């Protein structure tokens, strides 16, 4: 049970780090390609906000995926238990 908990924590931290890394890269790209629209002194806050948005979006999509797959699993098990 402890290994399952550790792997879950590691997976969530990896997802968190990747989301914020992607957010930083998107913010940097925006700064480099449109510096007149994205001031350099706001790069850090933009990176955090974009990273947080990526993280929340990924978590929402994971939740939707979980609901869909659990619904399929429960329907499949209900159908097999009736036969």
pTM of the entire predicted model: 0.76
Domain locations in the chain as residue ranges = 2-82
Tokens 């049970």 identify what position?
1
Nearest to 24 by CA among 83, 16, 7, 37: 16
Average pLDDT, 10 consecutive residues per value, the chain (83 residues): 87 95 94 89 93 96 91 69 58
């Amino acid at each position: 049970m402890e290994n399952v908990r550790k792997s879950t924590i590691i997976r969530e931290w990896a997802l968190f780090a990747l989301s914020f890394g992607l957010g930083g890269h998107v913010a940097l790209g925006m700064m480099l390609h449109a510096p007149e629209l994205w001031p350099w002194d706001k790069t850090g806050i933009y990176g955090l906000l974009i990273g947080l948005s990526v993280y929340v979006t990924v978590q929402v999509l994971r939740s939707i995926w979980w609901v869909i797959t659990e619904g399929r699993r429960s329907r499949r098990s209900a159908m097999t238990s009736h036969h």
